[in-house]
A and B are shown apart, each in its own frame.
Chain A
């Protein structure tokens, strides 16, 4: 036996060299070869055109001059430190999480070094430079801590992510009305740019989550009145575009409230986004609830748990765990959808872009500004989905 197998060489095509690989993957048949040539031409055409534009034609000065406006809008400059603090907290958590769940991933240090790289590449002022360097330092500390004690930190990191949302909102909004306090209130009409986009997302996630879970439970309730109400709400909201809900929130919300109550425009948009997102979230959570086998309910009943106890301690933890990946996808979609508030006149990233393009010295630079904004949206949303995929693998969700 051994003698014969020694003489058998792998087929020529399967030998792993470049030529064999190319023949298999690029020139398998004449149609394949044609497609390859077309593909190469497309790549060359797109890449060369894009590079030529980005390096020679485009005037990136518009971004450099308006960088602060695009990032935080009119947020008072003496209060910017507060934003850096919560950003630092997020980066610390990110470093921790990458170390704990992303072991073996090489991108963690590279990702954390990004702020320093940005500080040196782009013409920032002295203050942002210092902060950016601090961000990398904080991130690396978090990463180091995570490497040293991955098991001990797990729970606190998860708790950290959960409480980071209210922390972001509180730090950005402020605590007390008096000017003398450390964190005076910054009115929402001063929020703008990426900051506003981000805050809308955070508020949307934080408030739509409990509403969504309640709606999902309501839809599966045995009480017809509750069930029909939930079904009606979910289907109504899912049947209409977000923009109509945002308009409703802007124009009709003030009418719904008693006389004398006023809600500012940003909060109205937040209400609209929350109500919209809750309906979609409810459907996702319902998917998780349906995946829980009946035996779980029966076992809980056999143990003597009440209906509410069964839900809170047995069903929801399992159901939510199952739908984590879908929920992350939902939150990424929410982040992209917040850009619609520009249509109702808020100055989020897209809204600010309009004001930037209205400056007389930057007329006609739509391509530069919108490419930059697309890049921000793309990078953050790609980053979130990448990280969530890694975490999914590590958490073992979906693979049982």
Chain B
């Protein structure tokens, strides 16, 4: 176990001139698809280094290789000047690299000390765990770090921020020199984030190197010293944050100009379709107001956890009423169940296709007909001929590639599955479409078809509210954008003034 001197050694004593981690020319492909073509990164001791990039920029691939979870195709990794070749995560851990993942995985019913020393508990005679020594060591470690947490507390009694601090302590108990933090504030409130930043500052002072991954630019400027930007699987640039402006960084992250991957022919009309004012939901949405006209595509843009999906759930009668006014074509409504919402012409394509979009154990036909069981039956009895007919119409309308409508949806590709979801909602002849990340996990070809469907629907007088994290998609499809931050509307931008920089700025 750790002696006092050893903890001091863990917390300090790095040669400040040599890079802790140096990565050059990292490459990785998955079955012919290049995920990372040129990964480059250099981490100095006693610094916080932000790793920036949009979705698909190659950040995750880079991190999984550095952590020894995946192998690399080419390139070199040096830790403190020594060439390393990690084959397993344990190798990286032994070399002093540890990660605090976005999704923390503590054992909730165990104490803080037990979590820190999980799998390597100090033992005494006959393998009996030496709890006294374990608690003592854990408490000493926490105290050294100035974390106000008792080693004997159960993990389930800690806040998310405290769990994160315990993870940091755990990382340090492995003699970590390099600590990777993947979106550490995504589940934290402001006060909790400050607690985390204080801890990061102390680690920095102790000579540790921290790789900080985050989409939130304000945070990066607050806590980090230097940055590295990846885009489309390649290194774009790096430097000191003191030398760049926020706009410079956004420019580097967003990069390329938009090409013609979008189809947009709709024109907003004068008639109001859906208007929402002062909406609250489940503590995640506060006083949100917006409206969408017929023929219009309105985008709700914001970071994950900014309350976007909760708005849809509230509108669709999936969560309890927490105040606010909703008007559909002028008439006040408040749906208590999805059925009521569907009957009034709303349709909701959820973010999680497998979790709440499809019944994966059922076939294409059953999935398409699911929203219209009442209309496709005579009394309690289904009419199979009409079901088959409805499924066929949607399969043709969306060009769903399936050998038969009796094939299970789990056998279809992601893009075709998404088209089945769209089909099941178009069967209800909706007037207002709520689309939550409608092209997530869908290939480029199918994406274009989904954009065509959206454009056609709006052009025919339908209204669309679309949630998207993809800036390009918002720029390409939206007539107007409402930007969300921390459950509130932080700005509204008409199409004529749409710029990626503005959106990222308002969201972060």
**A and B found bound together:** no
Interface of B with A (CB < 8 Å)?
none
Interface of A with B (CB < 8 Å)?
none
